[in-house]
Amino acid sequence: MELRIVLVDDDESIAELLRANFELDERFELVGSARDGLEGIRLVQAENPDAVLMDLNMPVLGGLDATRRILEANPTACVIAFTASDVPAEHAAARQAGAAAVLRKPFDPVAFLDAFEEHARQCSRNRADAA
């Protein structure tokens, strides 16, 4: 079963690389992408994806606040944070905001997609157990 994904990242080069990798991988269906947290929230509400890849540092509305808002509206949503930061406090803040996992930039595409799939499928199992 393909995982329906929403990508939220303001860095066009990273977003394009991620889009290309998601679109080439049969495990995923990229249903939309957004450039900031507000766009991401609207897209998640419209598409109800299986998982959201959320950059933490963006203009307009950052990933932490967007993650909180998404999860307030839908507590079973699966948000996976994505950041270039290696600061443990930032990773902890993402987890406190409700992110299921935190993945790092830069990334090896194959290892990244494998890790993303693992976390997204774990979210799906948790949702099924909660239902």
**CATH for 50:** 3.40.50.2300
Q: Spell out the per-residue pLDDT of the chain, length 131, in tens.
A: 799 999 999 999 999 999 999 999 999 999 999 999 999 999 999 999 999 999 998 888 999 999 999 999 999 899 999 998 889 999 999 999 999 999 988 778 889 999 999 999 998 887 767 66
Closest CA to 104 of 120, 86, 118: 86
CB atoms within 10 A of CB 105: 16
pTM of the model: 0.93
CB atoms within 10 A of CB 17: 16
CB atoms within 10 A of CB 2: 12
Range of the domain at 37: 3-130
Q: Domain count of the chain?
A: 1
